[in-house]
């Protein structure tokens, strides 16, 4: 036996030993996946890898989520940030009377400024923000003067309903900066004439008179920047979801992007799916907003109840209902205000039983991205969350509280008022506290821990909507495992019988090497911490057929050489030499197909492609290298002169 062959033998032995070492947690059931096993209590477990083979969701059971990312919401949030930044850097003396206002339901901003200062203002925008904002030349809004005696609130609802029934491309109908002006915001700038013609032909008659000009210009995010923002929002959302799942302590979670706006989350073996979903879905958007005390709670409740009844808005406090309520209240509350609720829950069922309304300023003075830390604290046996702000947040918080002593500031989390305390003194230390209401100590502690986790990890760049939720029970996983194992055993039995009956001793060698091939596949899966799924088992079964196919090609070549009457040494060398090109070509083309499946497939397809690609590599090692070493051993070491094939 040559020195080169000896090294191959040593390499094979080391590979087999390494495979058993890597698979020890799976074979002997110790480590995280097998804590209940007796062997798991042994101290020997610490000398082996901590994790074995990951079982996929279809085998282990767990939670499958498909969530849609609200990309347009992220764009609107960015417009709000840009609006605040523009106001901060703009000199009031150079641009007197400047007022910025985001157009509802769009990514546009109105700029109220004297005509002679608009050109210098555009120049400053280009200097500070580059190609982020564009001035729109095409009309994006239509303003109407309301006739005397007409009710603005009624007309807002009537025009909005009229346009919706006729599928007119509009974004919003709102008060136009004065009590006698109604504004229709267009979704498509080029639809100005079509929308105007529809309204003229409607039932409004002399109630609405179109205005020919306005005292403002419109800014909009450039298409390039808006596209980049949507792309970054998706990446940030995936990273935020991954961080939250990891910090929650869920192992082996799979998180990936699907399509243009969906995130798939697969969490095997999760014990409390509702809590995980709650952590993932919460936007974690923290805002500190001033309360507008121009209306007391009783007046607000009366106004809200009348608006619900008139506009047939359902009782409840979900985001959709609150948005509809604020839409219906336009013209009845200040334009820069909105109503949000502090929710009261039943301490046992946790169901919302009441909502306390607050009239709040829309713009937040301090936000969660200014936080430095969020920690759980306990005072008088009541858990709460302590907040500390960074340098910018501390300054903003101090400035706001300094000029609003005696007024109320609301702490808003994900559109829900947590609390609204009165500012007694200026808070210059950059510290704040969120209380959690009522409940048992354990439930409040868990709520405080989850809230602190969300605030530390940062807010999601956009809200998530669950499109698909599937809970897979362990019994289904057990049935899948049983079916998968049975399919593998049946495939092995058929292959073993065929190879042994057709190729005799050569077939026996191919069968033994096939077992080694499967061992290597599982070892690589465990090493890479790739999940084994039901389609992955199908990939292993396919690999078994491909592995013996390589041996079939070699054996048939060897039979041809044997019929020519060549020696055993020549039969082996010619058989392997002539078969190699066909084996390599066939496996490389299959490997390319596997790479394409993995790159563009999702879920089950990726699982199939993973085991297929791993199997191709292990097949080339076992079916070609290992069998050749065995033949070389018998020919050169044992001096065998006859090949049974």
Residue where a domain terminates, one of 191, 226, 261: 226
- The answer to whether residues 199 and 297 belong to one domain is no
Give the Å distances, CA to CA, from 254 to 24, 282, 540, 612: 24, 19, 21, 19
Q: How many other C-beta atoms lie within 10 A of the C-beta of residue 129?
A: 16
CATH for 130: 3.30.70.330
What is the pLDDT at residue 603? 65
CB atoms closer than 10 angstroms to residue 626: 21
| Residue 347: Cβ within 10 Å count | 13
Residues 11 and 155 in one domain: no
Name the strand (E) or helix (H) holding 500: helix 474-503
Give the end of a domain, one of 202, 226, 250. 226
Closest residue by Cα to residue 395 from 417, 418, 372 = 372
Q: What is the mean pLDDT of each run of 10 residues along the chain (645 residues)?
A: 76 90 79 42 66 74 83 80 77 81 75 80 81 72 84 86 86 78 80 84 85 72 84 82 68 73 80 77 79 88 90 86 88 86 76 87 79 80 83 85 88 84 84 73 78 69 79 65 78 87 87 90 86 83 84 88 86 86 87 88 78 90 87 82 78
Pairing outcome for strands 141-146 and 133-135 = unpaired
In a domain, 220, yes or no: yes
If asked whether residues 373 and 483 sit together in one domain, one would say no
- Cα 467 off chain centre by: 12
**CA 507 – CA 12 distance, rounded (Å):** 20
Q: 372, 393 in Cβ contact below 8 A?
A: yes
Judgement on whether residues 294 and 427 belong to the same structural domain of the protein = yes
* Residue 273 belongs to a domain: no
Q: How far apart are the first and last CA of the chain?
A: 22
In a domain, 36, yes or no: no
In sequence order, which ranges of 529-626 are alpha helices (DSSP H)?
534-563, 568-600, 604-619
d(CA 627, CA 643): 13
* Same domain? 78 vs 222: yes
CATH number, domain of 579, equals 1.20.1640.10
Helix, strand, coil percentages (3-state) for the chain, rounded to 5, are 55, 20, 25
In the chain, the number of structural domains is 3
Residue 263 domain-assigned?
no
Cα(68)–Cα(464) distance, integer angstroms: 6
Residues 416, 538 within the same domain:
no
**Sign of the CA dihedral with 432 first, then 434, 440, and 441 last:** negative
Is the residue at 347 inside a domain? yes
Question: Do 495 and 410 share a structural domain?
Answer: no
At residue 614, the pLDDT reads: 92
Q: Identify which of 630, 623, 544, 611 has the alpha carbon closest to the alpha carbon of residue 583.
A: 623
Residues 198 and 327 in one domain: no
Retrieve residue 165's tokens: 């029934």
Amino acid 32: pLDDT: 46
Say how far apart CA 462 and CA 453 lie, in whole Å: 17
Question: Is 187 domain-assigned?
Answer: yes
Which of the listed residues 210, 226, 242 is the one where a domain comes to its end?
226
User: In this structure, how many other beta carbons lie within 10 angstroms of the beta carbon of residue 257?
Assistant: 15
- Indicate whether 343 and 427 sit together in one domain: yes
Q: Are 194 and 129 in contact (CB under 8 A)?
A: no
Q: Which structural domain range is residue 309 located in?
A: 285-443
Handedness of CA 556, 619, 483, 606 (dihedral sign): negative
pLDDT of residue 478: 66
Same-domain status, 396 and 489? no
Identify whether residues 437 and 480 lie together within a single domain. no
DSSP E strands, 123-253: 133-135, 141-146, 170-175, 181-186, 208-210, 216-221
The answer to whether residues 128 and 198 belong to one domain is yes
By the 8 A CB rule, do 387 and 413 touch?
Answer: no
**236 in a structural domain:** no
- 525 vs 546: CA distance, rounded Å: 19
- Can you read off the two tokens belonging to residue 246? 């990891």
- Report if residue 568 sits inside a domain: yes
């Amino acid at each position: 036996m040559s020195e080169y062959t000896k090294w191959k033998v040593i390499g094979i032995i080391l590979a087999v030993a390494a495979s058993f070492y890597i698979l020890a947690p799976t074979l002997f059931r110790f480590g995280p996946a097998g804590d209940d096993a007796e062997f798991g209590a042994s101290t020997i477990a610490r000398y082996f890898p901590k994790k074995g083979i990951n079982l996929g969701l279809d085998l282990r059971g767990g939670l499958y989520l498909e969530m849609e990312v609200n990309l347009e919401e992220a764009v609107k949030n960015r417009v709000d940030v840009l609006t605040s930044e523009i106001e901060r850097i703009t000199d009031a003396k150079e641009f007197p009377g400047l007022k910025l206002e985001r157009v509802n339901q769009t990514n546009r901003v109105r700029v109220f400024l004297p005509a002679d200062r608009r050109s210098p203002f555009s120049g400053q925008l280009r200097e500070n923000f580059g190609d982020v904002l564009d001035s729109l030349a095409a009309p994006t809004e239509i303003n109407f003067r309301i006739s005397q005696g007409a009710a603005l609130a009624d007309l807002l609802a009537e025009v909005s309903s009229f346009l919706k029934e006729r599928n007119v491309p509009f974004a919003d109908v709102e008060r136009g900066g004065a009590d006698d002006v109604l504004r229709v915001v267009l979704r498509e700038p080029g639809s100005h004439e079509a929308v105007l013609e529809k309204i003229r032909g409607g039932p409004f008659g002399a109630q609405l008179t179109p205005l020919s000009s306005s005292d403002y210009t419109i800014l909009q995010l450039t298409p390039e920047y808006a596209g980049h923002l949507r792309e970054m929002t998706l990446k940030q959302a995936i990273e935020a979801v991954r961080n939250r799942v990891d910090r929650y302590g869920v192992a082996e979670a799979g998180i990936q992007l699907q399509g243009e706006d969906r995130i798939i989350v697969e969490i095997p073996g999760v014990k409390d799916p509702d809590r995980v979903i709650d952590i993932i879905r919460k936007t974690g958007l923290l805002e500190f907003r001033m309360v507008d005390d121009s209306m007391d709670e009783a007046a607000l409740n009366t106004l809200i109840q009348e608006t619900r009844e008139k506009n047939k808005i359902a009782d409840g406090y979900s985001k959709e209902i609150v948005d509809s309520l604020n839409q219906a209240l336009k013209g009845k509350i200040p334009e820069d205000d909105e109503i949000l609720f502090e929710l009261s829950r039943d301490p046992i069922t946790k169901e919302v039983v009441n909502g306390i309304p607050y009239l709040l300023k829309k713009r937040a003075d301090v936000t969660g991205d200014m936080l430095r830390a969020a920690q759980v604290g306990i005072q008088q046996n009541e858990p709460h969350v302590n907040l500390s702000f960074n340098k910018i947040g501390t300054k903003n918080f101090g400035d706001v509280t300094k000029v609003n002593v005696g007024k109320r500031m609301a702490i808003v989390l994900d559109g829900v008022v947590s609390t609204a305390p009165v500012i007694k003194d200026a808070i210059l230390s950059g510290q704040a506290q969120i209380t959690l209401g009522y409940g048992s100590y354990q439930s409040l502690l868990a709520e405080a821990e989850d809230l602190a986790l969300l605030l530390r990890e940062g807010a999601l760049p956009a809200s998530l909507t669950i499109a698909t939720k599937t809970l897979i029970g362990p019994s289904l996983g057990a049935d899948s495992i049983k079916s998968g194992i049975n399919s593998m055993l049946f495939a092995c039995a058929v292959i073993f019988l065929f190879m042994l009956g057709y190729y005799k001793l050569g077939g026996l060698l191919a069968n033994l090497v096939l077992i080694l091939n499967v061992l290597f596949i599982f070892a690589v899966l465990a090493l890479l911490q790739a999940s084994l799924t039901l389609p992955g088992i199908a990939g292993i079964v396919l690999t078994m057929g491909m592995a013996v196919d390589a041996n079939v090609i070699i054996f048939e070549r060897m039979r041809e050489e044997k019929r020519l009457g060549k020696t055993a040494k020549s039969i082996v060398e010619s058989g392997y030499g002539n078969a190699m090109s066909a084996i390599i070509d066939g496996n490389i083309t299959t490997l390319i197909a596997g790479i394409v499946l993995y790159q563009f497939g999702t879920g089950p397809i990726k699982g199939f492609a993973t085991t297929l690609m791993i199997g191709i590599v292990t097949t080339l090692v076992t079916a070609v290298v290992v069998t050749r070493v065995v033949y070389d051993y018998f020919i050169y070491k044992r001096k065998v002169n006859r090949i049974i094939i």
